[in-house]
Amino acid sequence: MPVLRWLDENVEKIIILVNYVAMAGIIFVEVIRRFLFNEQAAWSSTIPIYLFLWVCWIGCAYNVKIRAHLKFDELRSRLPYGGQFACLMLDAVLWIIFSVIVIVYTTEQVLLARDNFAIVQGTDDVLQWWFYIATPLAFVLLVFRVLQNVAHDVAAYRKGEPLQVKANIFGE
């Protein structure tokens, strides 16, 4: 389906862009208000920090998708074909283990904030968990991206095609 394919290609970019524009907009407007009118919204220094959670963790999932996360490209590219594949599979296993740990513990924190009706500082009714949920959701997306990469790597390995061991930061 074209809609799902488009969403698969762009979901991280959209979430990052929307949150980054919101952060920049809030900061820009509130700096102008502070210096020109001597007033500022009480929440203007906290909401951008919470929005950064979305930018940061969704960006992590995006970097896993395009394989721009931390790894030793130069070493891997010099390994034999089987060694390259083994490293890619090790990456996948480690990402999934790490992600499950993050998902479990951050979900506990999200539920704690939700159950205690934790409010964002400077607001009356904006709940913190709306922002905290970014972390477990992003790591669920990250696991999905890891599994997509595994499927691609296994298919390439079975066909004897070159494996993608170098980061491709300019898209696919």
- For residue 105, the model assigns a pLDDT of 98
Q: Rounded CA gap, 156 and 153, in Å? A: 5
Q: Does residue 62 carry a pLDDT above 60?
A: yes
- The mean of the pLDDT values for the chain is 92
- For residue 18, the model assigns a pLDDT of 97
- For residue 167, the model assigns a pLDDT of 67
Confidence of residue 163 (pLDDT cuts 50, 70, 90): confident
Q: Does residue 1 carry a pLDDT above 90?
A: no
Tally of CB atoms within 10 A around 94: 11
List, for residues 83-110, the tens digit of each pLDDT value: 999 999 999 999 999 999 999 999 999 9
List, for residues 111-122, the tens digit of each pLDDT value: 999 999 999 999
List Cα–Cα distances, 170 to 15, 43, 91, 123, 166, in angstroms. 18, 36, 21, 39, 12
Q: What does the pLDDT average to over 47-53?
A: 96
Tally of CB atoms within 10 A around 2: 6
Q: Does residue 69 carry a pLDDT above 70?
A: yes
